[in-house]
Structure 1
Amino acid sequence: PVIGVHRTYLCDNAKKGVIWSNTQQYCNPEVDAILVKAGQENDQQKRIAFYSEAQKIIAQDVPIYFTNTVPYHTIYNHTKVGNPPATIWGTCSPLDEVYLKD
């Protein structure tokens, strides 16, 4: 869950007009402390607990928050396309290594 979570909610990332930052100016030092702990924790169950705790606080603080993310899907013809994106980002990732087969 780390991708995008910290940058969206950390107080020190509240940068007006800068995309991929805390554009809504949300700031809660308690959430910051929890996210820092979560980002440094190696034990998966403890990380889950930290993110769950942060999520509960954020859910009480903000007027609206997203409960899911639409997955990206990539559909291609494997006989015609080489090296299609195979990451979570799908076609939102760089396509510099994708090529058409002869």
Structure 2
Amino acid sequence: MVRDINGLGGFSGPQAKTEQSGKNTAKPTESSTPGSESVAPAADDVQLSSEAKSLQSLADKVNSLPEVNIERAEKIKAMLERGEYQVDDLVLADKILSSDALFGK
């Protein structure tokens, strides 16, 4: 059975206990005595985990990297197609090992 509480003719979803009971109760921030000050709710506090901080740091590093050098990429592509591009195994190994430091390992 669908109840039309708001006059809109549709399902209004689950209701809080205070709405179901039909009683009017004061809200926690409202004062029940005249002239007293209402207390503002406490501000939310967010604390990031160390993993989130690490991810943010990595994202900042990636965002600070320069854009792709199209000229250099085209030059390397042409060298690869001609079979002229040589990879130095020791330099490659050093680059791989240094990438672990970037990720905090």
TM-score category, normalised to shorter length: under 0.3
TM-score where L is the length of structure 1: 0.21
Higher helix share: 2
TM-score where L is the length of structure 2: 0.20
Higher relative contact order (CA 8 A, sep 6+): 1
Tell which structure's C-alpha radius of gyration is larger. 2
